[in-house]
Structure 1
Amino acid sequence: MGADFSSGTNLPVADAAPSNWVDRWAPASWRPYLRLGRFDRPIGAWLLLFPCWWSLMLAQVSEREPVANASYLVLFAIGAFAMRAAGCAYNDYIDRDIDAKVERTRSRPIPSGQVSPEGALKFAVVCALVGLAVLVNFDWFTIWLAIGSLALVSVYPFAKRVMPYPQLVLGLTFSWGALVGWSAVQGSLALPAIVLYVGCVFWTIGYDTIYAHQDKEDDALLGLGSTALQFGEDTVTFVGAMYTLASLFWLVAGALAGAHLVYFLSVTLVFLQMSWQVATLDIKDPANCLWRFKSNRDVGIAVFVGLLADTTLSWFAGLG
């Protein structure tokens, strides 16, 4: 699984932060694969993880469990980062010819010659096996539910080739953890988890539309689909609608699960943050788009903290 350095390069990826830990501290021989798995740009892994954590915590709120299940939180974190890496390696393998033609992605490990296509597939398999090792800690319903997401993962790289709204497929894929987290606690699915999932789908469509504006010129030249291209100058209205729907569904999910006021306050704060994204978005400025996309990690943290506070209140209520 050795890297292919035939092009003589082992340079950072164009959209990675200059001070990222991979390029500063990781052994040189590891860097191409860590870049392939986006460990130098972990925002995607966080956005994959948060629906898992939210759903897990919401299920505990529903069960009136007063203490967060730390072991499950850790397992989901490991699984999210591993499966994000596997998905990125697979996606880059499928998109290797397209990535070579796009300004922002031509420095990725496969098109730049740092990793061979075969090496990328092997890396994807190794990361997927780590994800499987995490899954076996849960019940069979949860295991098969999580495995079901692989169907969406497998078709996502092709979505932009055949449809104008590939962000919908990404939303369905990236939000799957909102189902799995609930199942891990309760061993089944229920309406609050499904409503939370739908809200996460809207959220993902919104933030990935912002992200897609970085590549819209190249996507148009290559004939690829994108909500950034579909909505163009109406992007602000579209993203605002997606974020509003996400917030509403999250509120309903909390109500169905019996959440306390602190959760609803956290979602309200999140809506204000997303309103800031929309109000200050400049679709003509890639740096502006990237910053607002990355700020969705704050959304994830705020909702998680609200749910954590909710379980803490239940713990204090139990003491009383």
Structure 2
Amino acid sequence: MQTKIKGLGKLIRIDKPIGFFLLLWPTLSAFFILTRGNPSPSLLVIFCLGTFLMRSAGCVINDYFDRNFDGRVERTKTRPLVTGEVKPHEALLFFVILLSLSASLLYWTNKLTFKMALIGAFITCLYPLTKRFFQIPQMFLGIAFSWGIIMVCSAELNTISPSSIILFFACFFWIMAYDTAYAMSDRDDDLFLDIHSSALTFGNYAQYIFLICQIISLSLWAIGGFMQEIKPIYYFLLLIVFFFIFYQFRLIKEYDRQNCFKAFINNNWIGISIFIGSILGTVL
């Protein structure tokens, strides 16, 4: 039993929480920006739990679909579905449980949020398959990971406001950027497996696409803040984000695998900076 629990923990990346935090920061930032510093405490808790559960569900379904690929790659050959720690039918059952727990949280929201959640769940399930037929699967990940912002707006305001759409695209382009950096670190493996990624599609231009997406994202975070009349300190934190972007761009220029992954991880600081800015710019 202990081995099985450990395997399930590895399946949801409990030992690698970076994906959870990259999903959490923009969601929390949206709460403070869209409510101008007056988020519902209960909804904050619900969305924190929902973020963890849906990210975990995404990891499980991703590994389920990729189980025949992962054994052929050094980085993923120790994943539970490859080693046999978790059986495919157990992973599917675990996925259903995680999805059901996520759905139960919707009881404390509203009908619009429930409808948005159905769309989000569909995209989450679809994303792992897009690597097989779509040239830039990062676009689907961008939609899936940004969808929480739309749900924040529907839960708090019972509508989809123009500001939430701006923040959605701000998050979308940020995800396009950091997952392109991640794909650059995985480029050789993806080429070997014959699956698609933005790094392979853009080739030698991937680093510039990364930079363009980061700048667009930063601009949209600024526009979203302006639309919500956020205080100037928010923009000071966005200025700090610019230096993180420049640092990451320097890391990925040589397409070094370790440096590209380091650039991906560094995006956690971008998320934290925007989150802190959203609090200071609305609450103080």
Does the 8 Å contact 1:68/1:308 carry over to 2?
Answer: no
Question: Match of 1:225?
Answer: 196
1:117 to 81, 84, 88: 88
CA distance in structure 1 between the partners assigned to 2:153 and 2:218 by the alignment? 19
Matched, 1:42 2:13: no
Does the 8 Å contact 2:4/2:85 carry over to 1?
Answer: no
Does the 8 Å contact 1:79/1:131 carry over to 2?
Answer: yes
Does the 8 Å contact 1:213/1:283 carry over to 2?
Answer: no
Letter of the 1:142 partner, please give it. T
Question: Match of 2:214?
Answer: 243
Does the 8 Å contact 1:263/1:306 carry over to 2?
Answer: yes
Q: Which runs of 4+ in 1 moved over 6 A?
A: none
CA distance in structure 2 between the partners assigned to 1:162 and 1:290 by the alignment? 24
Structure 1 position 174, deviation (Å): 0.9
Structure 1 position 282, deviation (Å): 5.0
1:1-320 matches, within 5 Å, as: 28-61=3-36, 66-282=37-253, 284-313=255-284
- Residue correspondences, number: 284
What SS is found at the alignment partner of 1:230? helix
**Percent identity of the aligned residues?**
33
CA distance in structure 2 between the partners assigned to 1:141 and 1:185 by the alignment? 11
Alpha-carbon deviations, 1:38-88, whole Å to 9, x = none?
111111111122222121111111xxxx54433322221111111111111
CA distance in structure 2 between the partners assigned to 1:218 and 1:85 by the alignment? 23
Cα pair distance change 1:167/1:280, threshold 3 Å: same
- TM-score w.r.t. length of structure 2: 0.95
RMSD over equivalenced CA pairs, Å: 1.6
Structure 1 position 199, deviation (Å): 1.1
Structure 1 position 194, deviation (Å): 0.2
CA distance in structure 1 between the partners assigned to 2:254 and 2:19 by the alignment? 20
Letter of the 2:154 partner, please give it. S
Greater Rg over alpha carbons, structure: 1
Letter of the 2:59 partner, please give it. C
CA distance in structure 2 between the partners assigned to 1:45 and 1:70 by the alignment? 20
Q: Extract unaligned runs of 5+ from structure 2.
A: none
Which protein is richer in helix relative to its size? Answer: 2
